Amino acid sequence: MRTFVHGAAVWGVACPRRPSRVAGVTMAGFRVRDLSALRMIPHPAVTLIVEFGAGSPVVDHAAGRLRGSVAAGPGIGAGGAVWASGENVECVQVRLSPVIARAVLGVSPADLDGVVVALDDLWGREASRIRERLGEVSSWQYRFALTDAMLASRRAAGPPVDPEVAWAWRRIAGDRGRTRIDGLAAEVGWSRKRLWSRFRSQLGLPPKRAAKLVRFDHAAHRLVAGEDAARVAADVGYADQSHLHRDVVAFTGVTPATVAGEPFLAVDDLAWSGHVSGDLGLGRRPSR
């Protein structure tokens, strides 16, 4: 476990030594003695927080407060509306590509649009079992292996998304949100109405919003890396710096200068090193 220090924040961070057996899954482990109020920044993935140990995270969101293990849909935290805190927090955080999220969760990500739910409400006793097993072992690598085995089992038993939907997501994620959305339906041979409906119901957000979220995520990480906002806006595909500013405020509730100092994003360089938005793209081009 390595130490992440960002201002007053001091976290222990663990990373798996090998990739998940499930394409579209990334994981990291966190140990935080005192997790001060932490703004959750929207990300183009479904997020699972599986806690164990003496303490537990607390998530405050528009509908109230949740304590313990949670699941959140892609883009959760828009407008700066979701905050995490807690003492003696130990957890495995999982990021799921929307392409596999329905199979793993047992529900469509559309059911998690803009909300945070207790993992117990989705998985029942299985959520309790994985928490108990994670708390019984002392090795982070073993914890990752246990979590991975559970995710692989659920992935294998769950329904896949349509190949056309997976392809559209892959195009959006691979192009970092700069894909021409109106051309996606023609690429897969569907009508625009059909693709938009299936994409929304199976992945949890419409294609245009997905592209905006992927583009924002890429821009936000470049801001955290210290790059100039005007340069980021030009490179990432915004019309100008004002356009970038508006998107950042819409997604986070704060300015690009503030986002650049957010620990939620700064820890990514250590916890999710090598994993960017494009890594969430899954699915081969469908035959026509």
Span 104-144, pLDDT tens digits: 999 988 888 878 999 999 999 999 999 999 999 999 999 99
Q: Tell me, what's the pLDDT at 274? A: 64
Confidence of residue 279 (pLDDT cuts 50, 70, 90): very low
Rg (C-alpha) for the chain, rounded Å, is 18
Residues 142 and 13 in one domain: yes
Residue 193, domain member (yes or no): yes
Domain end position, chosen among 157, 178, 206: 157
Same domain, 148 and 192: no
- Per residue in 148-190, pLDDT (tens digit) is 999 999 999 999 999 999 999 999 999 999 988 888 999 899 9
Assign residue 220 the CATH number of its domain: 1.10.10.60
Same-domain status, 187 and 136: no
Q: Which of 215, 190, 75, 266 is nearest to 182 (CA)?
A: 190
Share of the chain residues as helix, strand and coil, in percent rounded to the nearest 5: 45, 20, 30
Contact 148, 25 (CB under 8 A): yes
| pTM for the whole structure | 0.91
- Residue 204 CA, chain-centre distance (Å), reads 12
Regarding whether 45 and 177 lie in a shared domain, the answer is: no
Q: Give the span between the Cα atoms of 146 and 131, in whole angstroms.
A: 10
Last residue of a domain, one of 157, 186, 208: 157
The CA distance from 134 to 120, in Å, is: 15
H-helix segments, 98-138: 98-105, 119-123, 125-136
Residue 61's DSSP bridge partners are: 64
Q: Per the domain annotation, does 81 fall within a domain?
A: yes
Structure tokens that stand for 164 in this block: 């056309």
Residues 7 and 116 grouped into a single domain: yes
Token pair of 71 as six digits = 């699941």
User: Which of residues 30 and 182 earns the better pLDDT score?
Assistant: 30
